[in-house]
Amino acid sequence: MIEIGKDINKSIFHLKNNEIVVLPTETVYGMGANALNKQAVDKIYKIKKRPFYDPLICHTNSISKIKNYVVKIPLKAKILGETFWPGPLTILFDKNKNVPDIVTSNLKRVAFRIPNNKLTLKVLEKLDFPIAAPSANPFGYISPTSPEHIMKKFKTDIAYILDDDDCNIGIESTIIGFENNKTIIYRVGGISIERIEKVIGKVQVFEKNIIFPNSPGMLKKHYSPEKKMIIGEIESLIKKYKNKKIGILSFNKYFDGVSKNNQIILSKKKSLIEASKNFYKSLHILDNMNIDVILSSLVPNEGIGKSINDRIIKASEKYEI
C-alpha cells in the first residue's frame, strides 16, 4: 500500500531524499520528484513507462526561483506569469545549464508552472529545487484527478501521496511558448485561449505533428481509457452499437435507450467549468463500468470547451506512432 495523507513535512522529506511524491494541483495530480537530480527524474519515467522523448514540466512557487533555471524571462512570459500564476498555465523558457537534459528530453527549452494548490505551494516554498511532475498516470492512460485514480494504477515506488481530494480545474495546464516573435499555444488546457489573448494579444495554436511530436499533448492517443471511446452524434451511435453494452459521456442530458446508470453527465447546467472538473473523473468511472464502448460527443467549442474537446478527441483516437 502506498502511504497517503495531508502531511506537508513528510512530502518535503521524501522529495529531499529524491523519492517520488504525488502532489495535488488544481489541474491533475502530478508524479513529483527533484528536477535537479537525474536519478529522481529517471524514477518518474520508469514508473510511468514514459518514453524519454516526452519532456517534463517543472513546478515551483515563484517567478524569482524560475530565474535560476532560464536564460531570460521574456516580457510576455512575465506578464502571463503575473496574470495567471499560481494557475493552470505552463510557460516554455530557454533553459540554462542548471536544468538536467533528462527533464527536457534534450530540448533547449524548459517548461515551468506555478500550480494553484495550497498544500503543494507550501511544499514548493520549502524546497530549493523545482519539482518535475508529469500527470500521475501510466503513460497514455486517463489523467488522475483524485488519489484513488493513482492508487488503482500504482502499488509501489511512490513514497507518499499528498491528498487534497478532487482537482478543481480537472484538465491539464495550457502550454505556451515563444518562437520567432510568435506566441504559440502547444497544448490547450485550463486557461482558455480567449483569456490569454485578452492579456497579450493574438496567439497561434500549434498544428499537430503526430510523427515527431515535440509536445505529447500531440501524441494522437493520449489521456485515453482502456475501453473503446467513439465520438459523434450520440442518438445515431446508440443505434449503431445497439448490440454492445453502451456507456455514455454526455455534456448535459440523458439519452433514451441506454440505462441511466451507464450514462454520465458532465454538467446539467451546461457549465464548461463544471464539465472540465468532471471530465477525467467521469472517464475513470466509465472505464471501470461493465460496458463495451463509451459513446460521447463534443461540448460547445468555446473557452475551456476547446480544451475539453481536445481531450475528448485524443481519448478516442488511435495511437499512431
Contact positions toward Mg ion, by CB under 5 A? Answer: 135
If one asks whether residue 313 binds ligand TXA (CB under 6 A), the answer comes out as no
Block residue for cell numbers 529522481: 40
- Of 158 and 237, the one with the shorter C-beta distance to ligand TXA is 158
Write out the three cell numbers for 90: 505552463
133 touches ligand TXA by CB under 6 A: yes
Does position 291 interact with ligand TXA (CB under 6 A)? The reply is: no
- Out of 107, 238, 265, 273, the only residue in the binding site for ligand TXA (CB under 6 A) is 107
Minimum distance from residue 280 beta carbon to Mg ion (Å):
10
How many of the chain's residues bind ligand TXA (CB under 6 A)?
A: 29
> Would you say the C-alpha torsion 44, 50, 51, 56 has a positive or negative sign?
negative
253, three cell numbers: 442530458
Residues paired with residue 249 on neighbouring β-strands, in sequence order: 264, 296
Apex 133 CA angle, 220 and 95, nearest 5:
90
Cα end-to-end distance, the chain, whole Å: 34
Indicate the burial class of 72 (C-beta count within 10 angstroms; 0-12, 13-18, 19 or more).
exposed
Cβ proximity to ligand TXA, 57 vs 142, nearer residue: 57
Answer for which of 15, 28, 102, 185 binds ligand TXA (CB under 6 A) is 28
Q: Which residues in 38-57 contact ligand TXA (CB under 6 A)?
A: 54-57
Q: Is 167 in the site for ligand TXA (CB under 6 A)?
A: no
Q: Which is nearer to ligand TXA, 29 or 258 (CB)?
A: 29
Interface pick for ligand TXA out of 22, 92, 102, 266 (rule CB under 6 A): 92
* Residue 215 touches ligand TXA, criterion: CB under 6 A: yes
Query: Does 249 participate in binding ligand TXA (rule CB under 6 A)?
Result: no
- Residue 116, contacted partner among Mg ion, ligand TXA, none, CB below 5-8 A by kind: none
The answer to whether 144 contacts ligand TXA (rule: CB under 6 A) is: no
Strand partners of residue 265: 250
Which residue in the block uniquely carries the three cell numbers 472517464?
283
With both helix axes pointing from N to C terminus, report the angle between 8-16 and 118-125 in degrees, rounded to the nearest 10: 50
DSSP secondary structure string for all residues of 201-221? ---EEPPP-SSS-SSGGGSSS
Nearer to Mg ion by Cβ, of 100 and 134: the residue is: 134
The residue among 21 and 237 lying less far from Mg ion, judged by its C-beta, is 21
> What distance in Å separates the CA atoms of residue 294 and residue 101, rounded to the nearest whole number?
39
313 binds, among Mg ion, ligand TXA, none (CB under 5 to 8 A by kind): none
Q: Does 175 sit near ligand TXA (CB under 6 A)?
A: yes
Strand arrangement, sheet containing 57-59? 4-5, 160-162, 21-23, 30-34, 131-132, 57-59, 109-113, 89-94, 174-179, 182-187, 204-205
Among 11, 18, 25, 250, binds ligand TXA (CB under 6 A): 25
- The residue ranges that bind ligand TXA (CB under 6 A) are 25, 27-28, 30, 54-57, 88, 90, 92, 104, 107, 109-111, 113, 115, 133-135, 172-173, 175, 186, 214-217
